[in-house]
Chains A and B, each alone.
Chain A
Amino acid sequence: MRLALLRLPQIALTLALLSLAAWLAIGLMPGDPASLALMSDPRLTPEDVARLRALHGLDRPLMERYLAWAMGLLRGEFGYSRLFAQPVVAVLWPALRSTLVLVGLAVAVAAVAGVALGALAALRPRAGGFVDALALLAQAVPSFWLGILLIILFAVTLGWLPAGGLPGEGQPAWAFLVLPVATIGFGQMAAYARHSAAALGEALRQPWARSARARGASDQRVLWRHALPNAGVPLLTLLALDAGSLVSGALVTETVFARPGMGKLLYDAVMGNDYNLALLALLLVALVTMLATLAADIAQRWLDPRLEEA
């Protein structure tokens, strides 16, 4: 509780500074909405351009516009997306939902598979080499390449799964998730496997683990009931770091599998000078990452009270 009270003001300040930095960065990039309009309608006169700038408020200083935007945000006015002619929340929500499902499943798969592999390596030292090799492969294979390989094999050659996109009417949603989840999950699994192998191995070498075995506890029981909670601290940190990607999306995988999501939306918003959309998306990513880190810190202290004392 004390930790949360200490951190929340820091989070608020960080978000304020981040929003200002992002506003300035986007505002100072070349190509404002008036010049983009000029590119699409070359017959606009100089007077038209001046009126467009006034209409979009571009004739006002950058800081003045930032303050107006920030005050609006505090009042709950998120504004409209310039690129999509829709309220920002209406644009953000479908992309966020899609990304939460995709990356959430991928992180879950990666964590479960990674911990299982880590446990295998910890329990069976001879399997450690295999787990290391697999983790190395997972880290080394670029996700776009793996995605394309999976598409060629399972969609084009075997025809078992769709090559990408979103399900149409009457099509099973899960089928469209298998390949992208596998692509992201395989890459992320490596970190979980390595960390859990190291942490579980270390825990199993502790005197209390030997005592448990001496009292007749099976290897499985010692591992899952005793070693895993002790090895949980680094894994929680990893999960907290991955939480950011739940909302920032996976640009490469979304692109390869033609799934609209936060990664692509954020990229388009920044490149298309869509202030309202880009800033809200960036703030959301930052907020979720910071809250997840806070949650992980609290959970770590719960798992290991010595951290609280420290």
Chain B
Amino acid sequence: MRHALLAALALAATPAAAQQARDSLTIGITQYPANFHPNIEAMAAKAYILGFALRPVTAYGEDWKLACMSCDTLPSIENGQAKLEQTPDGKPGIRITWRLKEGEKWGDGTPVTAEDMRFAWEAGRAFETGFGPAETYRSAYEFIVEDARSFTVRFDKVTFDFAGLGQFQPLPARIERPIWEADKAGYRTRSAYETATTNPALYDGPYRIAAVQPGAGVTLERNAHWAGPAPAFNRINIRTVENTAAMEAQLLAGQVDMVAGELGLPLEQAAALEKRSGDRFRFFYRPGLTYEHIDLRLDNPVLADRRVRQALLLAADRAQIVARLYDGRQPVALGSVHPDDVMYDKDAPAWPYDPARAKALLEEAGWRPGPGGIRRNAAGETLSFDLMTTAGNRAREQVQQILAGQWRAVGVEARIRNEPPRVFFGETVSQRKFTGMAMFAWVSSPENVPRTIFHSDEIPTAARNWSGQNYAGFSNPEADRLIEALPLELDPARRRPLWSQLQRLIATELPSLPLWHRADAHVWPRWLDGVRPTGHQNYSSLWVTEWRVKP
């Protein structure tokens, strides 16, 4: 009896994963997509999964440079595909022509055409459809179909990143247009991407979504009509495991082959697993565009003093925190611009740990040591702030404790007051209800002009319906000038000094305290090769045709 039971259990456990042939790959991610429509809402899980199944027109590569994915040449002024012009109402504008690669087909064999792009543009222009980002569609005021594969878009704004189409992707018009025209406001929920997710005609990438287990995972199979290089696997299973301890267990049990770093284990957990698991997996840490920082409420008279802000940063030993908590695997930030960004200025003020200088600056600002070790000013006020972050985020809460301790050592009291993410982001930060410091992260893109976070027009107020992300309340005419000038400068060589000026200005004024650029921890099986994490919003799944099984 006992032997029979063991045999049955062993049979059940043969799982799965352990005995799978190498023609399939099972990937664990920590999030399940809320929807599958490529142009509605940006969401990491969706972007990762659709990276296997859809080809955007353009994307940033591993080298952080913009490249064509389904177009044949990247438009530029030099090649004539981009032309500066005036809009009908006399504003500076630009018209840009993209040409789709020959042989691009949907999964039912129908070619991807300029009409598919036109539909995506029309649906995006209708506000009630709810496509994001709204500004792109607002700016693209005219769409011209040149021929079956070429289309021109006229924009009422000139920016240096004009050649990129981002989330503006082709949609199979013959399937989606009738649904959209029947009910534009309801299109979001009635799109075939939501109601017939496994229809092959919705996908033009190397894979198509073949099965969906709501909340649990997605199965991808090869797209029979894919004309590009053949991918290595017949099937890719994406499994959603939200709890990272459970994810680690499934990895060790062989149920998932790899954990995608884009939506994977926290860095500290991955580093610990690497030490424990020996040579069983390959680990790769890729610092990315998630920028951890602390926004300071500049209306607070104490924090309005630049010397206090500088002292706070000098008294925070960020390098030690990174070394101890994150195994030294994520770079300390000088500001919001990532070291891999082509416009990064490595000579911007760095503010390395220097408690003596921090104390001197605080003295200079009129804050003298008081009873209990907390500094006071001449009016008897204590140098004390609320330090807030998202409750339940263990990594941030740890950092918060350490920072509070380091600041206390120079006479600054940081009172920890955390809130659930929904309250913190839904009201406290977005409506500027924090009084001192708010620790969270920004996610950006390569060469992203930080208009929404540093321009004085972007300070959220009730009158603006709380739009804008300049939560610190930073207002600096020189920063405004640079932020306005940057997008208009098309020549990278002339843009670089503007970027340097802006980075140095922000790193000196410190409207927010830079912490580090978060690294993604990728865990791969030893037999898998060719996965190239990018560190930005165009995930490694877009280049799945380069993934290979090692002989």
Contact = CB atoms under 8 A, between A and B. Distances in A.
A158 B15 CA distance: 12
Nearest to B240: A258
B464 A46 contact: yes
A160 B10 contact: yes
B194 A86 contact: yes
Given A46-B463, A85-B189, A258-B243, A163 B250 contact: yes
Contact of A44 (B134, B189, B191, B246): B134
Contact of A155 (B37, B249, B428, B467): B249
Interface string B50-67: 000000000000000000
A50 interface: yes
B42 interface: yes
A213 interface: no
Given A36-B426, A55-B185, A258 B132 contact: no
Contacts of B213: 166, 260
Contacts of A148: 245, 249
B422 A30 contact: yes
A271 B253 contact: no
Contact of A41 (B12, B134, B463): B134
A84 B188 CA distance: 10
A156 B249 contact: yes
Interface size class of A (residues with CB under 8 A): 35 or more
Interface string A212-256: 000000000000000000000000000000000000000000011
A46 B423 contact: no
B243 A256 contact: yes
B430 A35 contact: yes
Given A80-B189, A258-B240, A42 B246 contact: no
A53 B128 CA distance: 11
B41 interface: yes
Contact of B427 (A30, A40, A255): A30
A161 B13 contact: yes
B33 to A, nearest CB: 9
B446 interface: no
Contacts of B127: 48, 51, 55
A124 interface: no
A202 to B, nearest CB: 36
A121 interface: no
Interface in A24-46: 29-32, 34-46
Interface in A157-205: 158-166, 168-169, 171-172, 174-175
Interface in B256-314: none
B466 A35 contact: yes
Given A151-B246, A260-B214, A163 B426 contact: no
B252 A41 contact: no
A49 interface: yes
B135 interface: yes
A160 B361 CA distance: 62
A23 to B, nearest CB: 17
A40 B42 contact: yes
A258 B245 contact: no
A164 B249 contact: yes
Contacts of B422: 29-31, 271, 273
Contacts of B246: 151, 163-164, 255-258
B16 interface: yes
B135 A43 contact: yes
A105 interface: no
Contacts, number: 184
B7 to A, nearest CB: 10
B214 A94 contact: yes
B488 interface: no
B465 A175 contact: no
A109 interface: no
A162 B253 contact: yes
Nearest to A171: B16
B21 interface: no
A281 B322 CA distance: 43
Contacts of B237: 168
A144 B498 CA distance: 53
Contacts of A40: 41-42, 132
B250 A165 contact: yes
Nearest to B41: A40
A38 B243 contact: no
Given A31-B425, A166-B216, A38 B253 contact: no
Of A32, A40, A260, most buried by chain B (CB within 10 Å of CB) is A260
A152 interface: yes
Contact of B467 (A48, A163, A271): A48
A159 B134 contact: no
A42 B469 contact: yes
Contacts of B420: 271
Contacts of B32: 260
Of B12, B185, B252, most buried by chain A (CB within 10 Å of CB) is B12
Contact of B252 (A29, A156, A158): A156
Contacts of B15: 162, 171
Interface string B414-431: 000000111101111010
Contacts of B130: 55
A248 B521 CA distance: 34
A116 to B, nearest CB: 19
Interface of B: 6, 9-10, 12-13, 15-16, 18, 32, 34-35, 37, 40-42, 127-128, 130, 132-135, 185, 188-189, 191, 194, 211, 213-217, 219, 237, 239-243, 245-247, 249-250, 252-255, 420-423, 425-428, 430, 452-453, 458, 463-469
28 contacts: A29-B423, A34-B465, A35-B426, A35-B430, A43-B135, A44-B134, A45-B134, A49-B466, A55-B130, A55-B185, A85-B194, A148-B249, A155-B255, A158-B13, A159-B18, A161-B13, A162-B253, A163-B249, A163-B250, A164-B241, A165-B241, A166-B217, A168-B16, A171-B16, A175-B13, A255-B242, A255-B243, A258-B216
Interface of A: 29-32, 34-46, 48-51, 53, 55, 80, 83-87, 91, 94-95, 148, 151-152, 155-156, 158-166, 168-169, 171-172, 174-175, 255-260, 264-265, 271, 273
Given A38-B430, A260-B215, 6 more contacts: A31-B423, A35-B466, A49-B465, A84-B35, A256-B245, A264-B242
